Chains A and B, each alone.
Chain A
Amino acid sequence: MIKYILKRVAIGLATLFILTTVVFVLMKSLPGGPFDSERVTDPRVIEIMERAYNLDKPYHIQYLLYLRDLLQGNLGESFKKSGITVNSMIVRLTPTTMKLGLVAMVVSIVFGLTLGIISALTKKQWVRSIIVVFATIGVSVPGFLLALLMIYAFTVHLHILPTMGLTSWKHYIMPSLALSFSPVAYMTRMTRSSLSEVLRQDYITMARATGLSKLDVIIRHALKNAMLPIVTYLGPLISGLLTGSFVVETMFAIPGIGREFVSAITGRDYPVIMGLTIFIGAFVIVMNLVSDIAAAVVDPRIRLGSK
């Protein structure tokens, strides 16, 4: 078990290292320096500026300095908004993104599990059909299009839901639905196939034969085993919600990491793009790690299978 965790952590660290290197190389390969501007600047000023930011040093020294900064937790400073560091942005914006992400995650898990369990257990064909149709829509229709449709229906037409910001519970409804729409569909599909697979196993028949009630068998035996693939899905779910938040936060004008990232991209604010990429990347890596370890804890086959 410890060996498995160590291996996962090592892969995580290697990933982070490669990500930071890629980010650095890409940043350096961009045409144009940060101090190029339309106004003609005195070459001496540029020289002083470059020295201040260590840009006069050769690339490998710059790379080491950059790694040192990262290790000290310093993600850089915005070009466009002077004096604002990426760290301060993260501190200011993360809580909002986290709140929305958590709501969307709870919605995804609760609805996904419920619908999946219902469609695996029900004997009514029409219930199953409705859930299948819903899951297909969820997999096919991108969340941002659903957001567009909802804005049109509930804000432009009916005027019942607000679209700007995240100040009351009403503000949460549309963004969290848009974010969790396709995760719910994936979760439903996965729960259904995993649970119906488990229900076909011999030990379920065995458990029924020992006289346990149907509900008991489903809760104590079937669901417990059907949960395994779903635990593994939590890592990808979190990274999906994060990348989904880029567009959802932009559409609903929610001041979070995602919106800041998109506006940095469209505004070509390179240090912010790079800093936030590393932050988001690190976050996703940690979440994947947690989800992998959780899966290994509940399923011994995983840690024994890949020694």
Chain B
Amino acid sequence: MDYKVLASPEELKELESLSQDAFKKIPEDEKNSEYIAAESLTYFADVWRRLTKNKLTVFGMIILLIVIIFAILGPIISGYTYDGQDLMMRNALPSLQHFFGTDKFGRDIFTRVCYGARISLTIGFSAALINLVIGTVYGGISGYVGGRVDLIMMRLVDILYAIPSTMYVILIMVVLGANMYSVLVGICISSWVGMARLVRNQVLTLKQQEFAMAAKVLGASHRRILFKHLIINSMGPIIVNFTFMVPSAIFTEAYLSFIGVGISAPMASWGTLAQDARPLLDSYPIQMVWPVVAICITMFALNFVGDGLTEALDPKKK
């Protein structure tokens, strides 16, 4: 083995000839200036960083925040109730007194749109949350246990999947009556199957990997392996699916209310408001604008956030 000569005698001589003040101490914070590595981040901090880089997603989040603020504070600001009628002020145009004008019964449209936001957002997020829980547990168990259990559980999913969920929701609405809870029940009965399929496929692939085997060897219980290892590792697709479930639930609710089987009077969701404004389209088109704009910007915002999350959570795009 030959040793590398670090400095030739000439170089050494040159070094000795240098005075002390040719060297200086570098400040503490520059010590690692040559060290090149990405900042160490947790998984979710990393996702958040990539998410906030996407301008459209940030825009969507801001819009969503504004909608939520209006849903909470709107009725307080306006000082009206959603069903308070003022027959002297029917079909009023927007003014300082009524920001969005009034409808054919003299009800303040701004307040009704804000209440609509409460209904739509509540339905959207609770439906997505319930679907998340049911779908994850069902799909997780089906994929983890496998074999005949998986076969039977997935056949049930296939059967539920084959009928458009709108049909189920309509049937449930007919039986349970038109209110927010039956819309919620209807949406939840049919739409968890997509999540269940996704979680099952994730668990099926993940359970064959080494870390699942390692957990098993270490004596982790089945429940622990499934929920603390397999499902946590499929969180990315699950979150993406969750964010797209919110707008689809909001859409279903608006659709049902629009055809007249959703939220019924005097409560009003955005779909109901659009439906109420339809006969007045040629005389008071302004009344249609508000619910339509509210639905569209919320759907836009949610889709932007969903698209951003899809990209931020996709490891292939890192």
From residue 256 to 307 of chain A, which have CB atoms closer than 8 A to chain B?
262, 265-266, 268, 270, 273, 277, 280-281, 284-285, 288
Collect the chain A residues with CB atoms within 8 Å of residue B295's CB.
Answer: 141-142, 145
Interface of chain B: mostly helix, strand, loop or mixed: helix
CB–CB B254/A142 < 8 A: yes
Query: What's the nearest-Cβ distance from chain A to residue B161, in Å?
Result: 9
> Most chain-B CB neighbours within 10 Å: which of A26, A246, A250, A280?
A246
Given contacts A136-B300, A148-B288, A247-B258, contact A239 B164 (CB under 8 A): yes
Contact with A along B221-260 (1 / 0, CB 8 A): 0000000000000000000000000010001001100111
Interface residues on B, range: 35 or more
Q: Smallest distance from the beta carbon of A67 to chain B beta carbons, Å?
A: 17
Contact A23 B171, CB 8 Å, known A144-B255, A145-B292: yes
Bound-complex Cα distance A136 to B282 (A): 29
Residue-wise, chain A 94-116 has the 8 Å CB interface mask toward B (1 for contact) of: 00000000000000000000000
Whether the pair A148, B278 counts as a contact (CB closer than 8 A) is: yes
Q: Is B281 an interface residue (CB 8 A)?
A: yes
B166 on the interface (CB 8 Å rule)? Answer: yes
Known: A11-B155, A151-B281. A22 touches B288 (CB 8 A): no
> Which of A11, A15, A142 touches B251 (beta carbons < 8 Å)?
A142
* Interface of chain B residues 154 through 173 with chain A (CB within 8 A): 155, 158-159, 162-164, 166-167, 170-171, 173
Q: Which residues of A contact B166 (CB under 8 A)?
A: 243, 246
B274 touches A14 (CB 8 A): no
**B175 proximal to A (CB < 8 A):** yes
Is chain A's interface secondary structure helix, strand, loop, or mixed overall? helix
Contact of B158 among A11, A141, A142, A266 (CB under 8 A): A11
Chain A residues near B (Cβ < 8 Å):
11-12, 14-15, 18-19, 22-23, 26, 29-30, 136, 139-142, 144-145, 148-149, 151-152, 156, 239-240, 242-243, 246-247, 250-251, 262, 265-266, 268, 270, 273, 277, 280-281, 284-285, 288
Rounded to whole angstroms, the CA-CA distance of A266 and B261 in the bound complex is 7
Closest to A26 in B: B175
